[in-house]
Amino acid sequence: MASEQEHISKANRNGDFLDQQLAAAMSYDDWIAVAAFYKAVQIAEAIFAKLQPSDTAHSVSHKKRNAILKRDYPRIWRPYYQLFRASLVARYLEVGHPGAAFPTFANFMTHDDLVDDLLGVELIKVETEAASLLSAGHGLKRYELILLPPNDSFARGPV
């Protein structure tokens, strides 16, 4: 079972991938959504490694992780669940119930919505809530929206 610090290291690698994709001339929004979700997964697992009893310190499935977050950490679960939903569409072009299929990820979420809402609101909420639960000096890299002139588009950068 990985430690809190090992999960934080993995979360930071996913964050580095997000930065690289967002800086690329042609980003792959579906993969950005997946990487953002898996950053949140690693953050959740770091919390579990620190705070959960040893028999539940590592979740074995998305379903179990969702249940633990919803029950014990609802302020993390709400934004985490939005990342989870976006990753389902990015990976499978559906959100897990009948009639909720999309021909492409772009039909589900625009690039601006991905950056402004999924990353700029939901991922930041997960990071912010988790920071108060993780060990002091945990080293989790957090992100914020940075307004880049002249076209008023948003990008993400390290805090």
Is residue 74 a contact partner of residue 47, using CB atoms and an 8 Å limit? Answer: no
How high is the pLDDT of residue 41? 96
SS3 assignment, position 24: coil
The whole model's pTM is what? 0.84
How high is the pLDDT of residue 2? 86
Instruction: Write the pLDDT tens digit of every residue in 80-112.
Output: 999 999 999 999 998 776 677 899 999 999 999
DSSP 65-112: HHHHHHHH-HHHHHHHHHHHHHHHHHHHSB-SSTT-B-SSHHHH--HH
Q: pLDDT tier at 149 (50, 70, 90 boundaries)?
A: very low
Q: Which helix (H) or strand (E) holds 156?
A: strand 153-158
Phi, psi of 26 (to 5 degrees): -125, 100
Cα 144-150-151 angle, rounded to 5 deg: 80
Whole-angstrom distance, CA of residue 22 vs CA of residue 15: 11
Q: pLDDT tier at 154 (50, 70, 90 boundaries)?
A: very low
In the chain, domain spans: 4-158
Q: pLDDT tier at 155 (50, 70, 90 boundaries)?
A: very low
Instruction: Write the pLDDT tens digit of every residue in 25-76.
Output: 677 999 999 999 999 999 999 999 999 767 666 777 889 999 999 999 999 9
**Tell me, what DSSP letter sits at residue 56?**
G
Average pLDDT over residues 155-159: 46
Whole-angstrom distance, CA of residue 105 vs CA of residue 59: 27
Average pLDDT over residues 77-82: 97
How high is the pLDDT of residue 144? 62
